[in-house]
């Protein structure tokens, strides 16, 4: 929303360049479904409400099955197109958090801050760790983990964005200890927080993580 200014003799008219600076950074929020197609839910709606109360513009993003490098690249192009060249924030839950992390490093996306809530930081490391256990088997058939998409979602995270992650200390799937280590290996400057809960919690589960993310968008206090 454009902020109105009182007339002033010292005020010089400005149009698009000045107008862009008055608008809040848009935030894209991604749900997760083991890299299957996902859309808005109560979880993302709650996150959007919290972020809007903090003065942000929010887009709850739907996407198709991320089962190939081409599918991920298509999602990245869509985010870039919706952003219209403007800096953005990225927030994701579960698989959406993993995607948010990697979208922050995708060409054409000017991410300034990213918040991953219990999303796998490095898919290759996750698959290696869980391939034979009971946690992985229920989700292993939901999206084929082809080499191309695994590469897109693994390895060094080269992004200028401020990276924040929150992992649950009671999450047997995306374990806080292993996930924190994976993220700090891939993105040494990341800020990692933990909370007393498991998978599926809302954006307020780790208030410090949320505040950290918003502080690096240049916005004011959280209105949650």
Residue 184 lies in a domain: yes
Mean per-residue pLDDT, 157-166? 97
pLDDT confidence tier of residue 75, bands split at 50, 70 and 90: very high
- 181 found inside a domain: yes
Phi-psi region of 88 (alpha: psi -120 to 50; beta: other; left: phi over 0): beta
Does some domain include residue 5?
no
Tell me the residue range of the domain where 172 lies: 16-215
Q: Is residue 221 part of a domain?
A: no
In a domain, 70, yes or no: yes
- Please report whether residue 31 resides in a domain: yes
Which one of 4-8, 22-26, 39-43, 133-137 scores highest in mean pLDDT?
39-43
Q: Is residue 224 part of a domain?
A: no
Burial 204-224 (b: 16+ CB within 10 A, else e): ebbeebbbbbbebbebeebeb
Structural domain count, the chain: 1
Using one digit for the tens of pLDDT, what is the confidence trace for 26-73? 999 999 998 999 999 999 999 999 999 999 999 999 999 999 999 999
CATH of the domain at 180: 3.40.50.1820
Asked if the structure places residue 186 within a domain, the reply is yes
Give per-residue pLDDT as tens, 169-214: 999 889 999 999 999 999 999 999 999 999 999 999 999 999 999 9
């Amino acid at each position: 929303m454009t902020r109105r200014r009182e007339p002033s003799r010292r005020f010089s008219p400005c149009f698009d360049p000045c107008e862009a600076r008055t608008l809040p950074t848009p935030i894209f929020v991604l749900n997760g479904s083991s890299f299957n197609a996902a859309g808005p839910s109560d979880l993302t709606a709650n996150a959007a409400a919290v972020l809007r109360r903090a003065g942000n513009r929010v887009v709850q993003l739907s996407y198709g099955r991320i089962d190939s490098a081409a599918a991920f690249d298509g999602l990245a192009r869509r985010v870039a197109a919706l952003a219209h060249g403007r800096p953005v924030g990225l927030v994701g839950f579960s698989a959406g958090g993993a995607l948010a992390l990697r979208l922050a490093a995708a060409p054409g996306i000017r991410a300034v801050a990213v918040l991953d809530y219990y999303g796998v930081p490095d898919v290759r490391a996750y698959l290696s760790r869980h391939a034979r256990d009971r946690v992985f088997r229920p989700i292993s058939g939901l999206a084929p983990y082809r080499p191309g998409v695994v590469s897109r979602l693994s390895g060094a995270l080269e992004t200028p964005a401020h990276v924040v992650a929150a992992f649950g200390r009671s999450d047997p799937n995306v374990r806080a200890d292993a996930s924190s280590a994976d993220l700090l290996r891939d993105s040494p400057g990341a800020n990692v927080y933990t909370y007393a809960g498991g998978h599926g919690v809302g954006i307020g589960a780790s208030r410090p993580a949320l505040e950290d993310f918003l502080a690096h968008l240049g916005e004011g206090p959280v209105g949650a």
